[in-house]
Amino acid sequence: MRGFRRTERDHSSENRNRDLRFWVVLFSITGLAALLIYVGGQAIPAFAAPPQALLSSTPPQFMGMNMSSQTTKHGGSPWPSFQFGSFPTWGMGTTWPTLNPSDGVYNFSNLDYWINTAAAHGVTDIIYSFGKTPTWASSQPNDQFCVNPASPPGSCDPPNDVNPDGTGTDQHVIDFFTALANHVGTQIQYYEMWNEANDIKQWRGTDAQLVRMSMDARNTIKAINPAALITTPSPAGGVNNEGETWMDPYFAAGGGQYADVMTFHGYLTMLSYTPPEAEVGLIVAYKKMLSKYGYPTMPMWDTQAGWNLDTNLPDPDMQAAYLSRIYLLSKANGVARFYWYSYSNGKFGTIDTNGVLNPAGIAFEQIYTWLVGSIESAPCTAVGTVYTCGFKMQNGLQEQPVWDTAQSCNAGVCTTSTFTPSTLYVKYMDLSGNITQISPPGSPIQIGAKPICLMSK
């Protein structure tokens, strides 16, 4: 994660069944949630709540995980012990300058390491996150503004063969993605077009340049791997909708036509704690923007998010509360994938220490079991400060996560309020995996800042 230093036809009846089958299969492969489903000749966005029979269950890919480059290397934490469905390459030493250190020279060894390591642990769903211009290709090769240990001079400036209006050969980008896509083949199916482009420490070019680069990257990649999906650049922020404010002109410049997925980084604030419920407003703003430009069904992926600095939210129980609530709310509000930032970081959203999971890491395990395989049966709603969501598993189990935002935790002591569940629910699971029977069903129970999941059987 980076700091916020701002100053991405009608169908005939004979084709209707074919189209429905196509989109359901696409969902099961990619984990996309916001799709067009054709019912009675009309296209219905998935987040417009089509009939339950047409909904697909939540895939493992919804639960994504960013990791520190130290994971499994140089004495860092071992690969996570918990399950997750997808893995992005950002922060793993795989940026453009690292893989393409000089013109025509490529070194994919570090990327290969992570692809192979992920595959060895059963994770084959990988997003390549693009960003940072190599010094040799930069239009400002001596620019020191964005220099840090991971960013060489000129890395936040556009390539030297793309003009501010988007004209030029853009040969550097074409050459890079030709080499990359040929090297990885189908091992990588998703390509994210520039990391946090609304951060001037990441990108100092124009929207027209990014649109042109995205167009050429898309054409190049799909010529080699037609099944690959290309995303928008991924802006960061926040409670003031900084990301949506950046993404709007990018779409106005034509960026939407070169994206299969809209990606963003759902960090809410940098220097203080903001409750995860604020994520809903950010999601709504992006949905409005997509509809404005004619892409109401484009899937949304939150490819980086967390509570930001660990020092902003030091209490382990409140960290577990944050992680679980933001996953539940993102799923319920139409985000098709959510990638936590990050495992084994030690600074941002840390959920383990040397492979030992903290309460937030343990909560991730539980949220995975609550959500993966489920279908949303009721939206997340609030009555006062009490939130409830509804999910149904394929075996018929009804789930109702519930929490109270007015409660808090400090030094192992958590406040609670009284909640009376429906008699449908006979037990509940907490974020540590402990199960408590509700006897008799309908008896009042205690809820707090950390969600519990009511279960019907």
Give residue-wise pLDDT tens across range 69-85: 878 887 788 999 999 99
Other C-beta atoms closer than 10 Å to the C-beta of 433 total 11
Give the contacts of 49 (CB within 8 A, at least 6 positions apart): none
User: Which class for 302: exposed (0-12), middle (13-18), buried (19 or more C-beta within 10 A)?
Assistant: buried
43 DSSP β-pair partners = 38
Pairing mode, strands 374-383 and 386-393:
antiparallel
Q: How far apart are CA 135 and CA 117, in angstroms?
A: 29
* pTM assigned to the model: 0.88
For residues 218 and 194, the answer to whether their CB atoms sit within 8 Å is no
For residues 128 and 190, the answer to whether their CB atoms sit within 8 Å is yes
Q: What pLDDT is attached to residue 55?
A: 56
Q: What pLDDT is attached to residue 22?
A: 30
pLDDT along the chain (457 residues), means of 10: 35 32 34 35 36 67 92 85 96 96 98 96 97 98 96 98 98 98 98 97 98 98 98 91 94 98 92 92 96 98 95 96 98 97 91 93 98 95 98 96 98 98 98 98 98 97
Q: What pLDDT is attached to residue 34?
A: 36
Give the contacts of 149 (CB within 8 A, at least 6 positions apart): none
Q: How far apart are CA 2 and CA 424, in angstroms?
A: 45
User: Which class for 49: exposed (0-12), middle (13-18), buried (19 or more C-beta within 10 A)?
Assistant: exposed
Q: What pLDDT is attached to residue 10?
A: 33
pLDDT in tens, 259-308: 999 999 999 987 789 999 999 999 999 999 999 999 999 999 999 999 99
